[in-house]
């Protein structure tokens, strides 16, 4: 059985507890990166390898890589972290798709919420401002939580 096609637990029974493990096809992914742009690509490579091991379709892998690149770049650029501070990435395959959390101890997001998908003015040929638009477009749900000096951004992607 492909991990991607996890059956739901039988009615009346709780889902089995997932124990963190490593290796091919693990349903959990844990990774971390230094808060620098050059650390983003290696983390994304590990993440897409993990997605492939869990039989996530190639097109969805690409969506996840695009959205995660933007989300991680944002933390590096705006989080105010020192380069040797770490950003953590946790991901798991769920019944519905893939859920990924980005955890950092940088500055709180402005207004304490996920920025809107501000559409750049295309007529002006913008050179930026695409990041949140891509993240909003490619995720099914997007949540931001701040507590104890920690930002948690959760991105969920459908399986198909």
Closest alpha carbon to 153 in 93, 67, 83, 82: 67
What's the CA gap between 121 and 145, in Å, rounded? 29
Q: Does 114 bind another protein (CB under 8 A)?
A: no
Among 55, 103, 108, 134, binds another protein (CB under 8 A): 134
Sign of CA dihedral 128, 133, 137, 143: positive
Q: Does 131 bind another protein (CB under 8 A)?
A: yes
Q: How many residues bind another protein (CB under 8 A)?
A: 26
CB-based contacts of 110, cutoff 8 Å, min separation 6: none
Helix, strand, or coil (residue 50): helix
Structure token digits, residue 70: 């933007």
Minimum separation from the CB atom of position 90 to another protein (A): 21
Among 128, 147, 148, 160, binds another protein (CB under 8 A): 128
For another protein, the binding residues in 25-84 under the rule CB under 8 A are 36-38, 40-41, 59, 62-63, 65-66, 69-70, 73, 76-77
Q: Give the total residue count for the chain.
A: 160
Which residues contribute to the site for another protein (CB under 8 A)?
Answer: 36-38, 40-41, 59, 62-63, 65-66, 69-70, 73, 76-77, 122, 125-128, 130-131, 133-134, 137-138
């Amino acid at each position: 059985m492909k991990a991607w096609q996890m059956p739901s637990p039988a009615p009346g029974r709780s889902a089995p507890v997932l124990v963190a493990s490593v290796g091919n096809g693990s349903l959990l992914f844990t990774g971390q990166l230094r808060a620098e742009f050059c650390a983003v690509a290696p983390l994304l490579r590990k993440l897409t390898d993990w997605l492939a091991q869990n039989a996530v379709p190639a097109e969805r892998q690409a969506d996840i890589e695009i959205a995660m690149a933007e989300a991680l770049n944002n933390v590096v650029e705006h989080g105010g972290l020192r380069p040797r501070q770490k950003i953590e990435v946790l991901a798991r395959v769920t019944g519905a798709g893939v859920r990924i959390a980005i955890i950092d101890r940088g500055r709180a997001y402005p207004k304490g919420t996920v920025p809107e998908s501000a559409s750049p003015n295309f007529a002006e040929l913008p050179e930026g401002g695409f990041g949140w638009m891509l993240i909003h477009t490619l995720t099914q749900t997007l949540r931001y939580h701040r507590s104890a000096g920690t930002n948690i951004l959760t991105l969920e992607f459908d399986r198909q």
